Structure 1
């Protein structure tokens, strides 16, 4: 009978290789990095262009400029007034964009995405990371990830503003009701944003947390079940909304710049 001393099994196996995986484990983090860099580049350029963000004939306002609160905003696009100075380095929607950025950056899925894609912490499962030590989210700046639940509240408010913009777009420049392809694009984007926001882990915790008996709270239990199903698609919704945001902005930019006309269904 073979016996092993307690000391023999202590610690990790001494493996010199970074990983024993033979598959192309580096493709997912590489794809994630390329996708995020492409989106951030596009969004940054558009935010600082300060033009082609509003279609006055149909009240189409891109979400990248909502709410438009700069003194340089087209008056019809400023649904909540203007009070920011008009300078090139300050986005027209500077009040809300930082909160949206912080909500996305502290999102549980996005943490995994950019931790792996940019910091290699770790780059993939069963692949050693290059860092000598690991402190998790206990020190600055990563301790700020714990504020995610508060950025969630800001994201809900901003989603309400985007919903208002989508509803406002059903009013043409003449004050009449109308529907065009742009309205459908805005609606799809708003629905996707609400789905992503509702799928947030913080939302699930707020709805179903601090309850000892679900049977005594049937409404919250029902809502918790819906949010839980959405939560299972959180990663897909995170990427979907990046796509709908870019598509919505590009469509409104193209119509505003006169590249093509908005196909009208009604008026």
Structure 2
């Protein structure tokens, strides 16, 4: 085979230069406009930002309120289980004095760390607040304002890898909320057979909480990941299929469960503050 001999007339080899300035790097297409889209691309990220901001404001207010979180037989999901000494006696739910007075901090702050950590590190919520608050990027085919991108390999975004561990904590939280929902079928005198509007609110909330938790990408991997032959694991395969169907609705379940848990807390607050009485069906 004859060697290839250079004649000196070939064009110089292209050596890609390192990208500087994000979409304005010299290796990118020189387009002066920030985007060429004509639709209202800013509506989805703006709506997402408004929704998340509203929940943050509401949950922060309720977490620091430290009041009106129990109306027999309902206990707010923000305050369950009760882990501080200052929690009022609640016969309708767990009341574990593990943290004593906790220096005057609301017990909700202790509880909300775990479901909040689970949602903050959730794959869907990452996409939502990256686009809505950090504009990274705000929408497809729209330039982001950041000059560099390091991914989730550095602090603080490297903490996103804790998602799988927050998932285990979320399972425990969902279990406690399930127990609270069962106890919602008791009347204020703790007799079984009660069903009020609050019972329905709690039922809807726990179904959405479980659906969102199980639709998690980490849960899907735990159930069916690292299997070479599904035929040898029929039970895990069926579970993986079920979770896969939930996972396809992960975004919708994330928003629905976020709204339902806030609604459940708001309902208990309105009952506890005496705004109205719980309508009873039987």
Q: What's the secondary structure of 1:130's corresponding residue?
A: coil
Q: Counterpart in 2 of 1:140?
A: 155
CA separation of 1:209 and 1:172: change in aligned 2, threshold 3 A? same
Q: Counterpart in 1 of 2:213?
A: 197
Q: Distance in 1 between matches of 2:103 and 2:246?
A: 39
Q: Distance in 2 between matches of 1:197 and 1:225?
A: 15
1:21-60 equivalent positions in 2, closer than 5 A? 21-56=37-72, 59-60=73-74
CA deviation after TM superposition for structure 1 residue 22, in Å: 1.2
Structure 1 counterpart of 2:106, from 85, 91, 96: 91
Q: Counterpart in 2 of 1:17?
A: 33
Confirm or deny that 1:124 pairs with 2:139.
yes
Structure 1 counterpart of 2:85, from 71, 82, 88: 71
Structure 2 counterpart of 1:109, from 124, 138, 159: 124
CA deviation after TM superposition for structure 1 residue 151, in Å: 0.6
RMSD over equivalenced CA pairs, Å = 2.0
- Contact 2:79/2:111, CA 8 A, preserved across alignment: no
Q: Distance in 1 between matches of 2:118 and 2:233?
A: 29
CA deviation after TM superposition for structure 1 residue 16, in Å: 1.7
CA deviation after TM superposition for structure 1 residue 96, in Å: 2.8
Rg larger in structure? 2
Moved more, 63-72 or 34-43: 63-72
Q: What's the secondary structure of 1:76's corresponding residue?
A: coil
Q: Distance in 1 between matches of 2:53 and 2:103?
A: 23
Q: What's the secondary structure of 2:107's corresponding residue?
A: coil
Aligned residues: 261
**Structure 2 length normalisation: TM-score?**
0.87
Q: Deviations over 1:123-176 (max 9, x none)?
A: 111111111100000000101111111110000010001001111222223231
Moved more, 4-13 or 81-90: 4-13
CA separation of 1:9 and 1:98: change in aligned 2, threshold 3 A? closer
Q: Distance in 2 between matches of 1:81 and 1:102?
A: 22
Moved more, 136-145 or 171-180: 171-180
Q: Deviations over 1:43-102 (max 9, x none)?
A: 11011111111013xx20010111112222111256132233446862213433111111
Q: Counterpart in 2 of 1:62?
A: 76
- Contact 1:61/1:165, CA 8 A, preserved across alignment: yes
Q: Counterpart in 2 of 1:207?
A: 223
CA separation of 1:65 and 1:25: change in aligned 2, threshold 3 A? same
Q: Distance in 2 between matches of 1:9 and 1:136?
A: 21
Q: Distance in 1 between matches of 2:57 and 2:108?
A: 17
In the alignment, structure 2 segments of 5+ residues that lack a partner are 1-10, 18-26
